[in-house]
Amino acid sequence: MDVTIVEVSPRDGLQNEARILPTDAKIELVRRLIEAGARRIEAVSFAHPRLVPTMADAEAVMEGVPRVEGVSYAGLILNQRGLQRALATGVDEVNVVVCASEAFSRRNQNCSTDEAMAAALEVIDEARSRGLFTTLTLATAFGCPFDGEVSLDRVVELAGNGAAAGVHELALADTIGVGTPNQVRELSQQIRSAVGDGPGLRFHFHNTRNTGFANAFAALLEGVRVLDSSVGGIGGCPFAPAATGNIATDDLVYMAERMGLHTGLDLTALMGVSAFLTDQLGHEVPALLPRAGAFP
């Protein structure tokens, strides 16, 4: 596989939607994604239901999703309580989030970045001991809606902490869609220099300011081969003002395949999933490929 796409529409895609889909519709979304070729799916979040009501049925979703050989399900967690819930559902991966900016960390997790990192490392250690694949996501790695610019050195330091703890994968998230390709390339180079041949590198881009796909291309140029995206381009962060849309899986697959990179995903099937989401959510999805169609 030349590019591994982690499909995040069932989690990051749906969490920012005004309409809360019923559990059966979420399970159907996952089923359709698998039919389209998705093999790593971030299916649920184990955040507190009061904070993220769209994810309140995480256990029911995980109980109903198809168990298919080769398909890995991830759950996003913030703390030990979230890990225990995740373990009880049989997820294959856990994605532990730490905010690189202090203000966002205090507003989002009610603690400092250092406190969040200390808790995350404990969670990662236990998850690894249970045989789960672990990802440390550094949110607001490119900028914060409250603190503004985020120090590259700080992001590299936090990534080094995760690598030292043995996390399998480091994910850098442009939570509010302010990143630019030069930042992507510099972060990639600096983090690889700091962690060596340790954890794999993954990026999570939002297309809020129309730079998401340029950033994805920059990551590919740096040899990054794991990218997050959301079918239809739905999603965003409910804890940040104007943090709209993930990059669309449909559009990303089109770009990658036209570049000669294999994704394992079927464009026609993905456009069908976007049509399903349009019906379920009651509005047109942001992705452009479903409007224009594939080529040739």
Identity of the amino acid at 93? E
Identity of the amino acid at 276? F
CA nearest neighbour of 75 among 28, 135, 116, 163: 135
Q: How many CA atoms lie within 13 A of 207 on its CB side?
A: 23
Write down the catalytic residue from 99, 111, 144, 237. 237
Q: Is residue 237 annotated as part of the catalytic site, yes or no?
A: yes
Note whether 292 and 270 are within 8 A (CB): no
Note whether 251 and 30 are within 8 A (CB): no
Residues 6+ apart with CB under 8 A from 227: 3, 4, 5, 6, 202, 203, 204, 205, 216, 219, 220, 247, 252
- Please say whether the dihedral angle defined by the alpha carbons of residues 115, 121, 122 and 124, taken in this order, is positive or negative: positive
Cβ neighbours, 10 Å, residue 188: 19
Note whether 37 and 265 are within 8 A (CB): yes
Note whether 35 and 7 are within 8 A (CB): no
Question: What DSSP state is assigned to residue 49?
Answer: T
φ and ψ of 39, to 5 deg:
-125, -20
Residues 6+ apart with CB under 8 A from 182: 218
Q: Give the catalytic positions in this structure.
A: 237
